[in-house]
Structure 1
């Protein structure tokens, strides 16, 4: 019975996802964004476990400087941003190129061009910030070869539908597992001077590097630094920021991370993983309502 129940849940999730995507595709971009906002407000009220986790995480970080009302406002805005982003990415995939550029301005493109000029590829370090879902598409629109490293969804049908959407958004996907194949493909992408996009704000298991995030112990991925050390590819922090008008965005490209070299690979990884974690923290500090507080970033 358990297996049958799981199959029913998986089928329902995949069917629901397909219906939602087809509905959104009938909308123009601004309408999709507006509907995403409405779903976000509804989700904040109805998805209690994620609301409570978001408020708990926010309190751990900001309790001494923000009131409970302010924390609730941030959490509610985060839900709106998250749902807006999902709706927007479906509508964005079918926009004419000129409109795609109008909705997403790039700040710091010259830094990316200079880094790619080295011929070693670029490791684009980003986070679940703003509408990160269309970051890769906007870069691809400028003519860059873009690859995103992702974890495969457990539900195969939902994953296939997500992969179809990624293809429509015109960037390549590299799956984290199997690890050997993932590493080989990632190295190949950098060798071919691609932009390899890695999300650096996800909770890691025992293999992760010990860091502090907002002063709280956490684990972070060694991947961005390990790849940079192995290939010489620069690490460029990039973040999608939702503008005050709520429907346009700015893709901010920072200068390459200045890596510390001590002569010890293990020490270099530890120091530089903390460095990139600090960069992510600085953006979350500046735009707290645009980062996904509802995931389990810390050990406890």
Structure 2
């Protein structure tokens, strides 16, 4: 895992070159359809293989999402990271702990834009969802937005094939819309995690796992508070 992460850090400074001809998307027609439709979309991702390249390659198919990022404490480093990343996120980058961020993401989807959200990190106020055989605190936000905005939900995942070359996949996730909203959001969140688990099992060393996904939540999650 640390070897893979070291490669990602080194490759970050060559993202433009990598995206140009080193990332193969197995089913690009799904991304092209998102761009062509002009409707909102929710794209889930994880810290697999080179996740920066996986996010950046979306722009090659006309998808330019809004995404969440964690600001770096050093303002000079943060500004450089924003400069390198910003060109691939036409919808803008929103700070993770900004209270306005969830609402900005929802508005962006409602206006026809795409958003990109990481779904493999611990969420202390998330839903306990099955992940590798144990409940893991998981953000229900992508499922909530997809259901509320009637937007397609997709998981972006993949692996390093050889050297600095990657293969990515776009997997649609069904979002039920019944009379039980909470059950729908839980089922969709569980489906995302199940697909992510299947992908990670193929190349576990390429998943950046450096925190505890299985810690018990110290707070209950209120699904309605974001609407």
TM-score (norm 1): 0.65
| 2:51 alignment counterpart | 132
**What's the secondary structure of 2:175's corresponding residue?**
coil
Whether 1:293 and 2:212 are equivalent positions in the alignment is no
1:153–1:259 Cα change, 3 Å:
same
Q: Does the CA contact (< 8 Å) of 1:120 and 1:232 recur in 2?
A: no
- Cα distance in 2, alignment partners of residues 297 and 290 from structure 1: 17
- Cα distance in 1, alignment partners of residues 84 and 97 from structure 2: 20
Deviations 1:6-60 (A, max 9, x none): xxxxxxxxxxxxxxxxxxxxxxxxxxxxxxxxxxxxxxxxxxxxxxxxxxxxxxx
Give structure 2 stretches of 5+ with no counterpart.
217-227
| 2:168 alignment counterpart | 251
Pairwise CA distance, 1:226 = 0.8
More helix by share: 1
Give structure 1 stretches of 5+ with no counterpart.
1-77
- Cα distance in 1, alignment partners of residues 15 and 69 from structure 2: 20
- Cα distance in 1, alignment partners of residues 5 and 198 from structure 2: 20
Number of aligned residues? 215
Deviations 1:100-136 (A, max 9, x none): 3321111111122334555332111110101011222
Q: Does the CA contact (< 8 Å) of 2:22 and 2:164 recur in 1?
A: yes
| 1:119 alignment counterpart | 38
Q: In structure 2, which of residues 4, 27, 35 is the aligned counterpart of residue 108 of structure 1?
A: 27
After superposition, where does 1:172-187 map in structure 2 within 5 Å? 172-179=92-99, 181-187=100-106
More strand by share: 2
Deviations 1:269-292 (A, max 9, x none): 112111111111111111111101
| 1:81 alignment counterpart | 4
TM-score (norm 2): 0.85
- Cα distance in 1, alignment partners of residues 59 and 127 from structure 2: 31
- Cα distance in 1, alignment partners of residues 79 and 200 from structure 2: 31
| 1:202 alignment counterpart | 121
Q: Does the CA contact (< 8 Å) of 1:204 and 1:221 recur in 2?
A: yes
Q: Note the aligned Cα RMSD (angstroms).
A: 2.1
Q: Does the CA contact (< 8 Å) of 1:240 and 1:251 recur in 2?
A: yes
Q: Does the CA contact (< 8 Å) of 1:210 and 1:270 recur in 2?
A: no
- Cα distance in 2, alignment partners of residues 79 and 271 from structure 1: 33
Q: Which has the higher contact order (CA 8 A, sep 6+)?
A: 2
Deviations 1:226-276 (A, max 9, x none): 111111111111114211x2211112112x211233311111111211111
Whether 1:283 and 2:199 are equivalent positions in the alignment is yes
1:208–1:155 Cα change, 3 Å:
farther
